[in-house]
Amino acid sequence: MFGDRVPADVGIVVHEGNATCQGVVITAQNCHHSGMTLTDDSTATGMDQSESPHGTRTVMRTCPLCEATCGLEITMRGDEVMRIRGDRLDVFSQGFICPKGSTIKQLDADPDRIRVPMIREGEVWREVSWKEAFDEIDRRLRLVHDAHGRDAVGAYVGNPNAHNLDALLYNGAFLKALRTKNVFSASTVDQMPKQVSAGLMFGTVLSIPVADIDRTDHLMLFGANPYESNGSLMTAPDFPGRLEALRARGGRVVVVDPRRTKTADHADEHIPIRPGTDAWLLLAMAAVLVEDGLVDLGRMAPWVNGMDELRSLLATVDLASASRWCSVPTATIKRLAYELAAAPRAAVYGRIGTCLQEHGTVASWLVDVLNILTANLDEPGGAMFTSPATGSANMRGKGGKGRGVKFGRWTSRVKAHPEVYGEFPVVTLAEEITTPGDGQIRALFTVAGNPVLSTPGGTKLANALDTLELMVSVDIYLNETSRHAHVLLPGSRVLSRSHYDVALYQLAVRNVANWSAPVVELAEGELAEWEILLRLTAIAQGLGADVDVVSLDTVELRAQVDVSVGADGSLVQGRDGDELMAMLGDVPGPDRRLDLSLRTGPYGDGFGTRPDGLSLAVLAAHPHGIDLGPLQPRIPDVLRTPSAMIELAPTTLVEHATAMMSRHVPDVTPMVLVGRRDLRSNNSWMHNLEVLVKGRERCTLHVHPDDARDLGARNGQQIRVRTTEGSVVAPMEMSDTMMRGVVSLPHGWGHAVQGTRQNVAKRYAGVNTNVLFGTDLVDPLSGNAVLNGVTVELELVTDPVL
């Protein structure tokens, strides 16, 4: 049955003629690019690489581990990774690499990585064939569907999906095939607030302006620490180097964070802020701009809707109480506003610190309000929209106007959370599993996610997972979440996949395109991740476990071709679908889908109508990527709002901000907890690599020295952190980087759990900070969990047993 598997490494036919194309002129319908810079290099790609005398070969590959999309130069001997270093010729990252980039070698070789499908019976895992695994899923899913209907099946999609071409191109169909309302993802413990504010203001889910970091004079970062995270919702390889260059050319960097982070240490100014109060600071700054006549809408003036509503809101802002909320002096607030207005080119950027809080959507909105009020939106050196080569809803069709976004089209069963972009907040997952009634979740798929460690109420969720009639995990580890599965399907080896950052290039600080060929073939018994997902799709559709997925893939591709051919204004409008199918080839998998979207995309070759345009073949001939140039102004074409305007003051946001301001400033400020990231870590899942976790302990509680003194605690002593939801005990690390009254514990730890197969992670277990958070605390506008600024009690643990 599975003999029909075709290795994913033979997909691309490189057309010789394209290999030397230079200075391609773009005639994209909604962008004004001058041309592509091609670093032409015929030391070709992936599998085609010629062997050296030592039997090694060197291949280029984009790192799939974080959002920075660094180019890697990988030396292989046969099937084995010998060495990984930064690709100095990569058009975007130019050789930059962080300590994680090279650990794909260790990840690939990790003996704990799951390679064979497994079925769990009680506590015992049995290795099975793919056929048995899919048959078992099909059988049990049918039982659940027949007895309880479609909504009895849920799905949780985790972060690595955003870095995996197979998942990016095949998950959507799988989720759709499930025909369930119960879809959850890591987005609601991450960036959902920004997606909501961007959707409301500009009309699509990823119309998120990024700071034009390479040209700006003044950058304000709220709740982001790119020196550790390498950036997020802003794809900028070597973010630290770009910040340093900004300062070297005389620019200014200001960091707003309750902790004096490494990024703050390298900035011109650090503004400590009380966690969860960014919305007050941002509102106050906007109010100063209006009050003092500093507003300049610049080129945006004709495109801005809602200035009067915004003015009315800002007129109610009381600077003094805003200052008391956020602990930033009024004089500083004023100065920050004046500096922002005075800088020739400035950008405000907010990230996880501004999202994982009750006012996350309002804060995310206000970040862009400041960009607009200071004439920095859509201007070089300001906050700009990327023009990616593929995948972007704001590059498709006729620009300037659209349907906009709608939320709350349906609500969750137990707590009536509104749907946002088709998903429910993950905080509600456990109760949707445990609360009896119609629509109760009885089967769950997790795809590359570890919600037991990553989402609030981890213990509750773990217990809930044990009550499921069917749980299927597609994962590379048997970990804190997948150990609850009945069937574990191993995700494929990273190096066996091709790679293209369909998602992250939509938020890049330059327009770039880079495709990586698979480096190794799938071994006997391995299945490509796209094929796993497609087979699950077929099962969910009721087609059974034995479907010919290759034919199914072709049918789906044909449907996509037909959409393109039928679309008004498409580059291939009216063309013969058979002809395009023939040009896409007959090798199934993500590459021909990508090829279709590249060729019909804004820089595409239109299957011959624009011979100098992009196609997969062109990318294949440019293993270091293609630079499509600096960001370009895109207003009004980028807009997809029904009004054809930028919505500066969406009603729900104004209402939330108004309600927020009616609250009284608390007299006493309790001790609160925030998270943090460490350069050598990656959420919950790279802790099984000794090379990353060895050395000093990372899962420590950072406490300001004065707070430590009040506790009577010395460095290294164990502290119990308690909330109404739970408690953990972690060693204290005294740190004057902390604001007083704020402590910090990283997430993704807590590996001392029975029944997992992560031998290294178990030795560096740490504790799960997410057991401290309740599942009722959300930003109501986005459903995002509140994981920063939560009240905690601290206690020195004197009992040595604990």
Residues forming contacts to ligand SF4 in the complex (CB under 6 A) are 63, 65-66, 68-70, 97-98, 100-101, 230, 237
One-letter amino acid at 468 equals: L
- Could you give the string, one character per residue 186-215, with x where binding to Mo ion holds by CB under 5 A and - elsewhere? ----x-------------------------
The contacts of residue 436 (CB under 8 Å, 6+ apart) are: none
Contact partner, 65, from ligand SF4, ligand MGD, Mo ion, none, Cβ < 5-8 Å per class: ligand SF4
Q: How far is the CB of 226 from ligand SF4 (least distance, A)?
A: 9
Contact partner, 758, from ligand SF4, Mo ion, ligand MGD, none, Cβ < 5-8 Å per class: none
DSSP string, 395-419: SSSS-S--------SSB-TTT-PBP
Torsion angle (degrees, nearest 10) of CA 651, 653, 656, 657: -110
Nearer CB in complex with ligand MGD: 610/676: 676
Q: Do 507 and 386 contact (CB within 8 A), yes or no?
A: yes
Contact partner, 68, from ligand MGD, Mo ion, ligand SF4, none, Cβ < 5-8 Å per class: ligand SF4
In 525-587 the beta strands, taken as DSSP E runs, fall at none
As given in the structure block, the two tokens for residue 271 are 């503004």
With CB atoms as reference, the residue minimizing the distance to Mo ion is 190
Nearer CB in complex with ligand SF4: 62/195: 62
Q: How far is the CB of 475 from ligand MGD (least distance, A)?
A: 5
DSSP string, 191-245: THHHHHHHHHHHSSTT---EE-TTT-SEEEEES--HHHH--SSSB-TTHHHHHHH
Nearer CB in complex with ligand MGD: 136/190: 190
Q: How far is the CB of 187 from Mo ion (least distance, A)?
A: 8
The contacts of residue 435 (CB under 8 Å, 6+ apart) are: 413, 414
Contact partner, 63, from Mo ion, ligand SF4, ligand MGD, none, Cβ < 5-8 Å per class: ligand SF4
Q: Do 367 and 786 contact (CB within 8 A), yes or no?
A: no
Contact partner, 101, from ligand MGD, ligand SF4, Mo ion, none, Cβ < 5-8 Å per class: ligand SF4
Q: Give SS3 for 269.
A: strand
Q: How far is the CB of 301 from ligand MGD (least distance, A)?
A: 30
Spatial distance between the Cα atoms of 341 and 297, rounded to a whole number of angstroms: 11
Nearer CB in complex with ligand MGD: 244/548: 244
Q: How far is the CB of 454 from ligand SF4 (least distance, A)?
A: 18
Spatial distance between the Cα atoms of 370 and 131, rounded to a whole number of angstroms: 55
Looking at 98-204, list the stretches that DSSP marks H as alpha helix, in order from N- to C-terminal side.
Answer: 104-109, 130-148, 165-178, 192-202
Q: How far is the CB of 127 from ligand MGD (least distance, A)?
A: 17
Q: How far is the CB of 97 from ligand SF4 (least distance, A)?
A: 4
Q: How far is the CB of 800 from ligand SF4 (least distance, A)?
A: 39
Contact partner, 70, from ligand MGD, ligand SF4, Mo ion, none, Cβ < 5-8 Å per class: ligand SF4
Q: How far is the CB of 289 from ligand SF4 (least distance, A)?
A: 35
Q: Do 311 and 290 contact (CB within 8 A), yes or no?
A: yes
DSSP assignment letter at 8: T
Contact partner, 685, from Mo ion, ligand SF4, ligand MGD, none, Cβ < 5-8 Å per class: ligand MGD
Q: How far is the CB of 701 from ligand MGD (least distance, A)?
A: 13
Nearer CB in complex with ligand SF4: 96/125: 96
Q: How far is the CB of 770 from ligand SF4 (least distance, A)?
A: 23
The residue count for the chain: 802
CB atoms within 10 A of CB 470: 20
As given in the structure block, the two tokens for residue 152 are 């009895």
Q: Do 300 and 372 contact (CB within 8 A), yes or no?
A: yes
Contact partner, 476, from ligand MGD, ligand SF4, Mo ion, none, Cβ < 5-8 Å per class: ligand MGD
Nearer CB in complex with ligand SF4: 98/447: 98
Nearer CB in complex with ligand SF4: 73/725: 73
- Phi then psi dihedrals of residue 796, to 5 deg: -75, 130
Q: How far is the CB of 331 from ligand MGD (least distance, A)?
A: 19
Under rule CB under 5 A, residue 67 binds Mo ion:
no
- Cα dist. 594→318, 334, 398, 557, 591 in Å? 51, 48, 21, 10, 5
With CB atoms as reference, the residue minimizing the distance to ligand SF4 is 101
As given in the structure block, the two tokens for residue 99 are 């300590």
Nearer CB in complex with ligand MGD: 96/303: 96
As given in the structure block, the two tokens for residue 131 are 């056929």
* Closest C-alpha to 680, from 697, 665, 663: 697
Contact partner, 97, from ligand MGD, Mo ion, ligand SF4, none, Cβ < 5-8 Å per class: ligand SF4
Q: Do 698 and 746 contact (CB within 8 A), yes or no?
A: yes
One-letter amino acid at 420 equals: V
Cα angle: 399, vertex 402, 408; to 5 degrees: 150
Q: How far is the CB of 371 from ligand SF4 (least distance, A)?
A: 26
According to DSSP, the residues that pair with 211 across neighbouring strands are 383
Spatial distance between the Cα atoms of 629 and 644, rounded to a whole number of angstroms: 27
Nearer CB in complex with ligand MGD: 193/633: 193
Spatial distance between the Cα atoms of 129 and 119, rounded to a whole number of angstroms: 10
One-letter amino acid at 317 equals: V
Nearer CB in complex with ligand MGD: 475/637: 475
Q: How far is the CB of 369 from ligand MGD (least distance, A)?
A: 16
Nearer CB in complex with ligand MGD: 636/746: 746
Cα angle: 349, vertex 352, 357; to 5 degrees: 110
Interacting residues with ligand MGD (CB under 6 A): 66, 158-160, 164, 186, 189-190, 222-226, 228-230, 232, 256-259, 261, 273, 275-276, 278, 351-354, 356-357, 448-451, 454, 474-477, 479, 491, 494, 674-679, 681-685, 747-748, 769-770, 787-789
Nearer CB in complex with Mo ion: 379/423: 423
Nearer CB in complex with Mo ion: 194/396: 194
Nearer CB in complex with ligand SF4: 226/276: 226
Contact partner, 225, from ligand SF4, Mo ion, ligand MGD, none, Cβ < 5-8 Å per class: ligand MGD
Q: How far is the CB of 103 from ligand MGD (least distance, A)?
A: 12
Angle between helices 319-326 and 330-342 (to 10 degrees): 100
Q: How far is the CB of 29 from ligand MGD (least distance, A)?
A: 32
Spatial distance between the Cα atoms of 534 and 495, rounded to a whole number of angstroms: 20
Chain Cα centroid distance, residue 558: 29
By CB atoms closer than 10 A (0-12, 13-18, 19+), residue 249 is exposed
Nearer CB in complex with Mo ion: 561/785: 785
- C-alpha gyration radius of the chain: 26
Nearer CB in complex with ligand SF4: 504/760: 504
Which residues sit at the interface with Mo ion, rule CB under 5 A?
A: 190
